[in-house]
Amino acid sequence: MNTVTESMFPLNGCGLVRNEPETVNKIPGNRAIWVGIFAELTEFAMFFIVYFIAKAHYPEQFNQGPLQLNTLAGTLNTFALISSSYFVAKSLAAIRVNNPEQSIKWLWRAVMCGAIYLIIKVWEYHWNVDQGIQTNTNKFYTLYYYMTFNHLLHVGWASGSLIWAIFGLKSGRYTQKNHLGLTAIACYWHMVDLAWVIIFPLLYVLR
Amino acid sequence: MFNTRFKVRLKFEKLKTLDISWIMLMLITLANALVAETADKSLFITAVICFSIAFKGRRIMDYFMELNHANKTIQLFMRGYFYVFPLLIFLADLFSEPLAAITAL
């Protein structure tokens, strides 16, 4: 059976997920990471529902709030997260063609993007305080700080997991034929990016 | 020989898809930022932003997360999330007063 499978699919050897028999139509990574991903998305869903209700009750605060925020910081953070997701996807493609060195380089780039995100966020919070925007200024800013700080924590520990994956690649724990752990970490990172895809327009764009 | 050429072609195909997705996502983000800075509040703008959220989410899920080849249940829940929430954003804007009325304490 193994021989047939390996002859039908060049096992992890072409950089494409659709040629990975252990991944196609299966749970990417492992079950545990998907329990975590759905739990996190449920948490963010709660925030979004609270946002809808608060916006309905305080329309003026939610209309004026985004105008006072630093759109440049929000946009740069979106660029950083989208780029990091792209780098993680490239890293996975590289390990599939048995190029761990390249895979590590892409992961470092993703970690750099995570660090840039954290630096911009800290700068943005300082900028907010200088403008007089505090956690208790009004309901919009309370939600803004709650959502963005929560997301920042996720970026922090997900960056840590990327560094863990780099050490996994360096030590040979993740290889061309066995990199389900790396796939799981990549899925988690993409989930953090997906949450921001909703948070950014809610807080910075929509009024 | 054929196998090597096949692998190289597939690798190129993969990289092309990822690169195009990245460029598209960056451009949509830039357009969103432009809307944030210039556009006035309107239902049409909300609809456009909701559509951009759904599109960006789907692009990340299908091409970066590679869910278009994954387990169908995971696909269903993840894609559903990015259809339901953009729709809820629009509906919450459209029916803000009834929403405030039914959630008043």
What is the pLDDT, as a whole number, of residue A1? 41
* A205 close to B (CB below 8 A): yes
The token pair that represents B22 in the structure block: 């990245």
Q: Taking CB atoms and an 8 Å limit, are A197 and B56 in contact across chains?
A: yes
Asked if residues A168 and A181 have their Cβ atoms less than 8 Å apart, the reply is yes
* A125 close to B (CB below 8 A): no
Distance CA A148, CA A158 (A): 15
Asked if residues A70 and A124 have their Cβ atoms less than 8 Å apart, the reply is yes
Residues B35-70 pLDDT 10s:
888 888 899 999 999 999 999 999 999 999 989 888
Confidence band, pLDDT 50/70/90 cuts, at residue B14: low
What is the pLDDT, as a whole number, of residue A33? 93
Q: How distant, in Å, are the alpha carbons of A141, B45, B46 from that of B40?
A: 20, 8, 10
pTM above 0.90, yes or no: no
A71 to chain B: closest CA residue: B33
A207 to chain B: closest CA residue: B41
Cβ count near A35 (within 10 Å)? 10
Residues A98-139 pLDDT 10s:
899 999 999 999 999 999 999 999 999 999 999 999 999 999
DSSP state of A204: I
The CATH superfamily assigned to A33-205 is Cytochrome c oxidase, subunit III, four-helix bundle (1.20.120.80)
What is the pLDDT, as a whole number, of residue A3? 42
Average the pLDDT over B76-105 and give the result: 95
CA A28 to chain centre: 16
- Contacting residues for A206 by C-beta, under 8 A, at least 6 apart: A66, B45, B46, B49, B89, B93
What is the pLDDT, as a whole number, of residue A193? 97
Among A34, A52, A206, the residue with its CB nearest the CB of B46 is: A206
The full set of domain ranges for chain B reads 2-102
Asked if residues A170 and A104 have their Cβ atoms less than 8 Å apart, the reply is yes
DSSP state of A202: I
Distance CA A62, CA A139 (A): 8
DSSP state of A99: -
Q: Taking CB atoms and an 8 Å limit, are A190 and B81 in contact across chains?
A: no
What is the pLDDT, as a whole number, of residue B16? 77
Token look-up 């996975």 returns A92
Q: Taking CB atoms and an 8 Å limit, are A16 and B100 in contact across chains?
A: no
Sign of torsion over alpha carbons A29, A35, A38, A44: negative
Confidence band, pLDDT 50/70/90 cuts, at residue B10: low
Of the candidates B73, B95, B32, the one whose C-alpha atom is nearest the C-alpha of residue A37 is: B73
What is the pLDDT, as a whole number, of residue B37? 86
Average the pLDDT over B17-43 and give the result: 91
B57 to chain A: closest CA residue: A194
With a cut of 50, list the residues of chain A below it in pLDDT.
1-13
Q: Taking CB atoms and an 8 Å limit, are B88 and A56 in contact across chains?
A: no
What is the pLDDT, as a whole number, of residue A207? 81
CA angle A152–A138–B39, rounded 5-degree value:
80
CA A92, A93, A94, A95: dihedral to nearest 10 degrees?
A: 50
What is the pLDDT, as a whole number, of residue B5? 63
Which H or E run includes B77? Answer: helix B72-94
* A85 close to B (CB below 8 A): yes
Cβ count near B10 (within 10 Å)? 19
What is the pLDDT, as a whole number, of residue A80? 97
Residues of B whose CB is below 8 A from A200 = 29, 32
A198 to chain B: closest CA residue: B53
Reduced to 3 states (helix: H, G, I; strand: E, B; else coil), residue A11 is coil
Exposed (0-12), middle (13-18) or buried (19+): which is A46, by Cβ within 10 Å? exposed
Distance CA B43, CA A146 (A): 26
Average pLDDT, chain B: 88
